[in-house]
Amino acid sequence: MCLLLAPLSHHPFAQLFESLSSQLRKMAKNTSFLGFLVFGFLCFICLPAEAAIKKYQFDVQVSNVSRLCHAKQMVTVNGRFPGPTIYAREGDRVQINVTNYAHYNMSIHWHGLKQYRNGWADGPAYITQCPIQTGKSYVYDFNVTGQRGTLWWHAHIFWLRATVYGAIVIMPQQGTPFPFPQPDKEEVVVLGEWWNADVEVVEKQGNALGIPPNMSDAHTINGKPGPLFPCSEKHTFAMEVEKGKTYLLRIINAALNDELFFALANHTFTVVEIDAVYTKPFSTEAILIAPGQTTNVLVRANQVPGRYFMAARPFMDAPISVDNKTATAIFQYKGIPETVLPKLPTLPAQNDTDFALSYNSKLKSLNTPKYPANVPPNVDRHLLFTIGLGINPCPTCLNGTRLTASLNNISFIMPQTALLQSHYFNIKGVYTLDFPDKPPTPFNFTGAPLTANLRTNVGTRISKVAFNSTVEIVIQDTNLLSVESHPFHLHGYNFFVVGTGVGNFDPKKDPAKYNLIDPIERNTVGVPTGGWTAIRFRADNPGVWFFHCHLELHTGWGLKTAFLVEDGPGSDHNILPPPKDLPTC
């Protein structure tokens, strides 16, 4: 086993190893003894690629951070905002010891990692684990199997992911090239939000009043809002580039509540990967990226040397207020003085539905022999989940009511004991297995806004799924209070987006239009405003897996549920035993 803290392509001896091994191979043709030496040498240098353990220490702590002329204390990992990037290679084992020095309970989710049979390392508080209490530690120990690309990690309790997040970069196996032109360099670009106030206080105030909390004060790129905001001279991210070179941008939307457009002035992106799955490449002037999603793009520095803004701004095509401020960073050609004013890109309009639908329609899986799209052609279990906003009584709230959100008219109530532990140890009374496969009362889902009878049922109700069965979920937006775009994330799995449309899903006509050849595969998908999205997956990962809207506002209001996937035949298809240091509630 080897302990490496960076991918092997970044290892200081990688190029030396490759050069020496090449020379030794030539010498070995003439000398059997040298052949023996070559074998031994190659075994030595191959060990890190084949059996590496990557170890990280995450200290969750309160740090002083200043942005927009406001200084505040906030929760960070290792004092960094954003937190450290996890580097690994496909096939590695990763061990991250999280020690909680903050005054909040903590759990961290490794967003997009499938965690086969190992929900104990998935991270959502009260779903797969009890949170890490103040002064305690927990080691997230998992294998990176069959995945490569850009993912990310974030706190998965309260609104703490506003400041506790970072990137995960998984390199392909040693010797395996990208299925697109090799970039000269790469850069992680994490989009986020900034509140001048304490985010947890903001959330609690909103919950106490039963209304949406105050929206953010700025968007950020790698934790920095850029020069369009006050006091941001030191808080602007810049990357230096050389004319003629190609750069891979690993873009992550870590914002709590906003889908974002992202563009680079005078330059074109080539999309090559989303959610750590390679795509058929296509060119675009801008990308649309929802909270929870990742997108890798190639960009060639082929313009007149200068300084160019990268910019991020929200997409919202419903009558709902958002923080419409633009975050910027600088794409700076080498040798250009900082006195040159950067050029701003032309971003799509805030409500540009046509761009959103067109962009998402271009996303296709590679579907090659090496990277196939294994879409389930047949479905064992058909589910229809309707998204709704609602109003429930709350005597202590403003106006005596509280805004809620629901799937199939059920607002999910978080348990006090983790669902996975309850399932594994057969603890009764924590959840019920009666989440409905379809909404209780059919109606014209996307017709005129419905503002009466908006009360929702509440409960910790989840859905049991047979091992290795194929599942299709049609996620349908509704006009209960208002239509809106919702990004949905499924833990423990990727899924194929086989269809999407505007209006009500038609079970008789719409399936005929499904793409079962090369649909995009991902872990977080946007349901269009006033529309629907159909996803398919094979339930081959036993455990309890969270399914929720990745707008933190809606998740907190109850727009979530979970799937209990049964064990399969044989011990190698059963949930692994829990680790000894698993936190207790």
Reference 254, options 190, 329, 189; nearest CA is 190
Q: What is the pLDDT of residue 449?
A: 86
Q: What is the pLDDT of residue 30?
A: 41
Residues 273, 112: contact at Cβ < 8 Å?
Answer: no
Dihedral in degrees, nearest 10, Cα atoms 501, 506, 507, 508: -120
DSSP type of residue 330? E
Q: What is the pLDDT of residue 455?
A: 86
HSE, CB side, 13 Å, CA atoms: give it for residue 33. Answer: 0
Paired strand residues for 187: 249
Is the pLDDT at 23 greater than 60? The verdict is no
Is the pLDDT at 336 greater than 70? The verdict is yes
**Confidence tier at 50 by pLDDT (50, 70, 90):** low
Lowest mean pLDDT: which of 45-54, 146-155, 461-470, 574-583?
45-54
Q: Which residues lie below 8 Å from residue 476, measured CB to CB, with a gap of 6+?
A: 384, 385, 386, 387, 445, 504, 505, 527, 532
HSE, CB side, 13 Å, CA atoms: give it for residue 534. Answer: 25
**Confidence tier at 51 by pLDDT (50, 70, 90):** low
| φ/ψ of residue 503, rounded to 5 | 95, -160
Packing angle between helix 32-50 and helix 14-28, nearest 10 degrees? 150
| φ/ψ of residue 299, rounded to 5 | -135, 130
Is the pLDDT at 38 greater than 70? The verdict is no
Which tens digit of pLDDT belongs to each residue from 537-582?
999 999 999 999 999 999 999 999 999 999 999 899 999 999 999 9
48 vs 92: CA distance, rounded Å: 9
Of 25 and 555, more confident = 555
DSSP type of residue 306? S
Lowest mean pLDDT: which of 274-278, 438-442, 466-470, 495-499?
438-442
Alpha-carbon torsion (115, 119, 124, 129), positive or negative: negative
End-to-end CA distance of the chain: give it in Å, rounded: 34
Q: What is the pLDDT of residue 451?
A: 79
Q: Which residues lie below 8 Å from residue 468, measured CB to CB, with a gap of 6+?
A: 538, 539, 540, 568
Q: Which two tokens stand for residue 59?
A: 């200290």
* Helix (H), strand (E) counts: the chain: 6, 33
Which tens digit of pLDDT belongs to each residue from 144-164?
999 999 999 999 999 999 999
Neighbours of 381 (CB within 10 A): 14
Locate tokens 């603890």: which residue?
427
Is the pLDDT at 79 greater than 60? The verdict is yes
Which tens digit of pLDDT belongs to each residue from 226-283?
999 999 888 999 999 999 999 999 999 999 999 999 999 999 999 999 999 999 999 9
